[in-house]
Structure 1
Amino acid sequence: MGGFIGKMKEDPFANYLGITIEDVGEGYAKVSMEVKENLLNFHGSTNGGAIFSLADVAFACASNSHNQTAVGIAMTMYYMQASGIGDRLVAIAREETKPNRLGVYRIEVLNDKEVLIALAEGMVYRKKDKLVP
């Protein structure tokens, strides 16, 4: 698999967590993950770090979708609703601004019933180099 989308799909951490990259467009990404037992916290709900990681993968894919290297410099996550084992979570990242150096993204994490589980905002710094030459 070639190009920058192929590079995104080879992400070792995303693959370790079972995150699937479903769609990437200019300034947009949709990724998903099934909540399994190893992603639960001691309350029996999805660990916040797993939810954050799902949102972060969507953020990374959307912000690098212009084939210009973008690195996260800030991300704020709001946890709205608990999720649990067997839930399929989907994170959708959308570009809010596209200036030369800084980009702002909104990321929604939804369950399979389209209930908002978490909401995040992220900012990237865009480097001059291409993700894939």
Structure 2
Amino acid sequence: AYRFYVQRPELAERMRNQWARAHRVLLNKYYVDEFYNATAVRGTMLSAKKLWQFDARVVDGAVNLTGWFTVFSGWLSHLFDKYVVDGLVNFVGWSASESSFSVRRIQTGLIQNYALVMLLGVFVFVSVYFIAS
């Protein structure tokens, strides 16, 4: 290299012109970088872009749909709890309160009234027994 480029630079120039095609191939390192960029790098970039599009459209779409469905089912659950479950509980409380008015009249606290109700109950059972037989 010292002989070609320092002592006799014209010799290097002459050989470069004489072997122009070989010089170009060696100067470009056998075009390995160009081949690598055209195949591996370009293929990787293309597949990365396609995978990104798949992720953005399909995967993110599925995640967003799942999130929307979760929020919607939570809203439905809230409505069911508010109107069905709470409605049944409130109805049971209301019906107990309303039925207590009629039951309160029966419970006077007088033993004579309780004895009368028991005798009427026994009379009803005996009557049903004799009518059925």
The TM-score, its normalising length taken from structure 2, stands at: 0.20
Q: Greater strand share, 1 or 2? A: 1
Q: Greater helix share, 1 or 2? A: 2
The TM-score, its normalising length taken from structure 1, stands at: 0.20
- Higher Rg of the two aligned structures: 2
